[in-house]
Structure 1
């Protein structure tokens, strides 16, 4: 199976073949904010043809949601009657996720903060109510545009098809245990300025959060959270990826603050590990001199888990990098990409 890497930028989507370095541009001049790779379409009997290509979803800030059913070769706008000026929803799609239990179920987040659900693979969507009725909603605000806020990330629970985690930038982590019927606002210990969330199928009760106010994790499906900051010298955490082969190993990108991450350019990579013993608890180590530029002159990286144990991808203004050993070493992919920070990263294959 060929690997394809999808890189979202503010002027379009790049589809990268990491073996050859070839780069194809899609959705030119669209501000692509978020990405999702989902399995190919099922037949009416529920089976998935062996030749079915991955579905690729791209949420844009200026033109709603786009979907490819041929692995990213072509894209069409979907759900335009609901998302965008032609319908009742906003243009800005800022988060998208699919259920691991039923890939035709897709959740979509927007700016301003709303959540939508599709049960037919994105053809149609319907609003999921109640998100902005939680007590903290009046406090939500995105500093660069303080009169609004958005759903920055949506993550499904690997163990429960009805349980979803929604990160609002900035203001709250909100959890629904019942498919959007009810919402739990700001669970104990959760972060406020959530940038990315992650789960792992081998540890289905665990959830990880990368946020502007640090890194936190839950071991009870998001009911309670604890901050993990041992060894993490930079508390503005942006990207996150979990080792496909080990839920104890997590890579994050981090900086001292938003200015260093996005404007000045001084960001780092860290690896979370279990620690030397059970008493010490998990801790971070900074990944300097591992083959990927970090520190002064680099902007925060977006990260994505690969398909093999130890495989994680990282993308920032200095290029696209891959590690096959969970961060011990990185190799640069010889692909020509924009020399600026990317908005999102996703890895798939066909």
Structure 2
């Protein structure tokens, strides 16, 4: 099974996932996320949304706004969603041939508050998620703007931002009601589709989370002490990696290659193992006795997925 690596310099492909044979397949600049749905790969980049069936050749799907930050399909595969910068949401029902904006996202009461100087005083839809148990539900994470939920395929929306930090980097959808939100200030969990949130990082000394991942009953997360501008200092990201066997009620801090200078930004499962990618271009594998370096690529790893 091939491994696709989204980096800040395009998409790299490893045919067997060992990283002994990596080759850049998509020269699209900063690639924020690579995801696979029903055997089809999608890459969200600052130059567009691209699709591939083999990881070799890629097609630009011409989303109306160039900077695409997130992508997801409906559980039945009939709808393809793309979240952009500035924060707009589009849907396609013909495999990306045409797009329609879901204007309901713009009608939310807090829409005027979605901005930050770091992102040109604008925001973006950084995370999109669905779950088969709620086929019409769409979960959107906005940086900076909070979590919002639609129960009619994105036509109308409810704000679920109370109790969670507004700087949303990723929302891990575990089931129809349980999500884990990785934020610029904290890690949060909800058991009721965002109506209430619990902070999971109160006993941790790192606060800047990018993404969480779950596999075989274990929850993985990583964080830095500060935001990316601080990572250029003498201590790098000053990061840590956390593992939990109880859904985030408690965490163990575990060592990993590249720590503490490099922060884990990406997660995936591949051939039964958990993989992690760092801002230093390192791809890690979780072995029985701990984390090891699987290989390296010459750019920061932003996303990992198997195809």
TM-score of the superposition, structure 2-length normalised?
A: 0.90
Distance in 2 of aligned mates of 1:174 and 1:191: 13
Partner of 1:332: 293
Task: Report if the CA contact (8 A) 1:260-1:267 is conserved.
Answer: no
Distance in 1 of aligned mates of 2:102 and 2:66: 17
1:179 to 150, 153, 163: 153
Task: Report if the CA contact (8 A) 2:268-2:306 is conserved.
Answer: no
User: For 1:131, what is the secondary structure of its paired residue?
Assistant: helix
Give how far 1:198 is off.
0.9
Whose Rg is larger?
1
TM-score of the superposition, structure 1-length normalised?
A: 0.79
Give how far 1:324 is off.
4.5
Deviations 1:299-336 (A, max 9, x none): x3222231566x321111151011155xx5122213x4
1:283 to 250, 273, 284: 250
Q: How many residues align?
A: 302
| Superposition misfits of 4+ residues, deviation over 4 angstroms | none
Partner of 2:46: 61
- Work out whether 1:134 is the aligned partner of 2:108: yes
Root-mean-square deviation (CA, aligned residues, Å) is 2.2
Task: Report if the CA contact (8 A) 1:37-1:346 is conserved.
Answer: no
Partner of 1:219: 191
2:10 to 3, 9, 12: 12
2:219 to 250, 260, 280: 250
Partner of 1:274: 246
Runs of 5+ in structure 2 lacking a partner? Answer: none
Deviations 1:51-74 (A, max 9, x none): xxx211112202x211112x2111
Give how far 1:204 is off.
4.0
User: For 1:332, what is the secondary structure of its paired residue?
Assistant: strand
Residues 314 and 323 of structure 1: is their aligned pair in 2 closer, same or farther, counting only changes over 3 Å?
Answer: same
Partner of 1:348: 306
Runs of 5+ in structure 1 lacking a partner? Answer: 40-53, 84-88, 276-280
Deviations 1:214-258 (A, max 9, x none): 111111223322111243210111121111x21xx2111101110
Where does 1:314-333 land on structure 2 (aligned, <5 Å)?
314-316=276-278, 317-325=280-288, 329-333=290-294
Task: Report if the CA contact (8 A) 1:35-1:56 is conserved.
Answer: yes
Partner of 1:166: 140
Distance in 2 of aligned mates of 1:337 and 1:57: 20
Deviations 1:13-50 (A, max 9, x none): 111232362101112253322221111xxxxxxxxxxx
Give how far 1:152 is off.
0.8
Task: Report if the CA contact (8 A) 1:199-1:207 is conserved.
Answer: yes
Where does 1:41-120 land on structure 2 (aligned, <5 Å)?
54-62=39-47, 64-69=48-53, 71-78=54-61, 80=62, 83=63, 89-99=64-74, 101-120=75-94
